[in-house]
Structure 1
Amino acid sequence: MSERRRTVIRAEDGTVSITGPSAGPAFTQAVLDVAGAVLTWPVLGPTGLPTAEIHDVGQAQQWLWAVYGEHTAAAVDALAPGTPAAELAPPERPTALAENAARLALGHWASRWWPASYLDGIPSLEPGLLGLELAALTHECQQLLDESGESEGIELLEEHLDALDPLIRWRRSLDPPHQLDHMLRLIDDAADNAGLDGEALRRLRSALEQDHHTPTATPLDVSELFVRQRAFALAAGGLRTATDRVIARGSGTNDWCRFPPGFVDASENAVSWTAYAPGAGRRIEIEVVADIAAPAAGVHLAAEVHVDGGPPSRVPLSRQDDVWIGGSDLDLSSSTTPRIEVGILLPGFDPGPGADDRAVREAVRALARRRLSVAATPHDRTASHPAPFLAEIAAAAAMEEDF
């Protein structure tokens, strides 16, 4: 099958698949729940039309033609169960709805999988700023969505109203991003449609009524627009005594799928462990660099420790300053060098260890660095480097100061 063509298949249970690029691990997929279906784009692959898993063909017909074209929409409606349709050519150029949907899905991916890392020099994205842009994109993509999808956009807007005032100031600056005015007008329209009101929204409406081509006289320091947590001392805890003998040390696996976003620095080197010999005993101590936004109390990560390929044991971790730390006694032979494997998880959230995706995680880090580079050089953006999110522009502006 060519990269541009799609095959439509209806299963015996009535669900319909529109095939597309093969998917990798969850953190390389941009996923969007739409009316009657789930759409998926590969984050690391070329942008284009998504793969679709359609569970309600009737609902999906409200947007299928506008994303895949009339021929594909007709094929989905007419296809008999178990029969693949002929390969179908999508529109020569993605429609505006398809492009907006891909951007919305990528924004949701960034809110979940952006590889923020102090160790790797990849700044986090301001959640309020990203949330408002997602709310605006959700409103722009309302043809795709059912009531629950539209409600999610309104909830994002209500949750992040505090970020509106900095955006209004940014709009009045000497050189605001070109998409900012359009985004704010979408937010105003979405709020109006939902019947939302409040001081922040009234200030937005007043600002939009004014001439946005009249900037402030002073250039704006974008890095100061949003409250950012810059202090990150990396002060590790100390559980051992000076007389403990080190018998082994190493790095653990930082599997992003095993804990929610915002808990652990995304670096491959964020997890470290040391095995000690305190007298005749054996003990392991584990340190994990926390994400800047990691919860300070109430929720606890755990380390999963395998010794010489044996069954796993759990070591509770607690947050202390900017690290998660914990320790446990080990059952080791004193005459051998142990083979120890350590992974990090959140009990109750963990889906289980996946494949060793270190190379794929590095590809995601490389993607984030490229996007930040484009965000930092607005005049160099091309079709192959689409407009970054406002949160990426703000993060790029703050990189030098933060890192």
Structure 2
Amino acid sequence: MARASVEVHVVRDDDGTIRIAAGPGASSDVTRAVLDVAGAVLAWPVLAATGLPTAEIHDVGRAQQWLWAVYGERTAAAVQACVAGESADVRVPSDPTGLAGAAALLGFGHWAARWWPASHLDGIPALEPDVLGLELAALTHECQQLFDDEGDQPDDCVAELIEDHRAALDPLIRWWQATPPSTEPARRLERVLRSVDDAADGAGLDGRELRSLRSALTRPRADGTPVDPAALFARHGDYALAAGDPLVTGGRVIARGAGTNDWRRYPPGFVDASETAVSWTARALGARRRIEVEVVAHSAAPVAGALLVAEVGVDAGRPSRVPLARRDDVWSGRADLELSTAGEGRSRIEIGVLLPGFDPGPGPDGGADRDAIRALVRRRLAAAAQPDVPNSAPHEGTSGPFLAEIAAATTDEDY
């Protein structure tokens, strides 16, 4: 069935940048999928059903290699008219293409790697990072027309993705070999594996896992015993969600509350995405006042290396920082607090969690956005649990589901 044309708005700004707007924009970086491509940045609103991106083109010459293939000839001609000064503002119909669909899926995959709201508290399972990484490698390879050799496109990273996530190749091969060929997961598995193999060969990569992949793809496929995708990628670490009261250090409790969990202020894989993940207790120990902070950790949170801090503000005063260390499933820390005895119980205490050097600073609350994101991923996981049911695939601007979503949807962990 032919795809309906979409009207796009082509505008030339005073600084020479060409903007192509297609559909609604995103309200925040949390709801925007982004790709750095040759001569431009492409962006899609994650919460809106559109396959065409908005483009900010800073080098039209470089962008010509993909412009017509994403938006069609009429949009490419409108961009050239803007460059030539024949027009500065025009609306034209654009015909969505196969490359546009693949690019939208790649953009969503990068968004998921950064913003997927994995949470034991909210019941949203995490995506297996090695599986998602190989899917992104395959999609990047399929979208090579978007990139050139200038070296300023961080999303053109096929070789790095394969090297970083090759641990998932053996289980992906087992999953593929054990899945009936007529099913959607089998087709998607084979496409990912063949794209990874082709990309690795083109990049001159080698290693046991890649040799095993080449061997599996060149010999007749024999159906094996069905496997549980989630079990193939199960990780047995030291993470176990604890129950019970927070650690008690003595003294009289004078205040307690919940802090702010702003996803923008730390990298993915550090903190449970729930709004209730950050809690604090203020205690009186004689004349001293102490703040204790506990933050529910993400299942992949590091136990060493980069450490989070809690930013503590009292009555809108200058915030101070409390170092946090991971203990089982919790980041925790404590420090003395400047709190007058006259104000105890009535002072306003605000607490957020961040990673120094990564933190862009606090942003708008975004509670509605985060609720919408949780609803989106729950719909996608429900569809991923039935990948062969007609019309079960998500239609949120991308095709799907990802293999990482299928594996997450079958997990038997306590979410």
Measured on the aligned residues, the alpha-carbon RMSD in Å equals 2.0
- Deviating more after overlay: 307-316 vs 385-394: 307-316
**Pair 1:200-2:209 in alignment:** yes
Please list every run of 5 or more consecutive structure 1 residues that lacks an aligned counterpart in the other structure.
Answer: none
Relative to 1, partners in 2 of residues 1:112 and 1:384: Cα closer, same or farther, differing over 3 Å?
closer
Match runs of 1:280-299 below 5 Å: 280-299=287-306
Q: Note if 1:184 corresponds to 2:193.
A: yes
Equivalent residues in 2 for 1:359-378, closer than 5 Å: 359-378=368-387
The corresponding residue for 2:17 is 15
Moved over 6 A (4+): none
Q: CA deviation at 1:83?
A: 5.5
- Which whole-Å CA distance do the structure 2 matches of 1:366 and 1:384 have between them? 12
Aligned to 2:98: 96
Q: 2:68 aligns with which of 50, 53, 65?
A: 65
Q: Which amino acid aligns with 1:157?
A: I
Give the aligned residue type for 2:309: A
> Equivalent residue of 1:373, what SS?
helix
Aligned counterparts, 1:285-364, within 5 A: 285-336=292-343, 337-364=346-373
CA distance in 1, matches of 2:215, 2:176: 13
CA shift, 1:402, in A, is 4.0
- 1:2-401 residue pairs with structure 2 within 5 A? 4-20=6-22, 21-80=24-83, 84-91=88-95, 94-147=96-149, 148=151, 149=153, 152-175=157-180, 177=185, 178-212=187-221, 214-216=222-224, 218-229=225-236, 231-234=239-242, 238=247, 240-241=249-250, 244-336=251-343, 337-382=346-391, 384-385=394-395, 386-398=399-411, 400-401=412-413
1:286–1:326 Cα contact (<8 Å) kept: yes
Cα distance between partner residues in 2 of 1:183 and 1:104 = 13
The alpha-carbon distance between structure 1 residues 195 and 234, as it changes in their structure 2 partners (threshold 3 A), is same
- In the alignment, the residues of structure 2 paired with residue 222 and residue 319 of structure 1 have an alpha-carbon distance, to the nearest angstrom, of 29
What's the TM-score once normalised by structure 2's chain length?
0.90
Is the partner of 1:299 in helix, strand or coil?
A: coil
How far off is 1:12 after superposition? Answer: 2.9
Q: Which has the higher contact order (CA 8 A, sep 6+)?
A: 2
> Structure 1's 83 and 247: CA in aligned 2 closer, same or farther, altered over 3 A?
farther
CA shift digits 1:219-238 (9 cap, x unpaired)? 21222211424741327763
Q: Distance in 1 between matches of 2:414 and 2:107?
A: 28
The AA in structure 1 aligned to 2:320 is S
Provide the aligned length of Structure 1 versus Structure 2: 394
Q: Helix, strand or coil: the match of 1:253?
A: coil
State the one-letter code of the partner of 1:197.
D
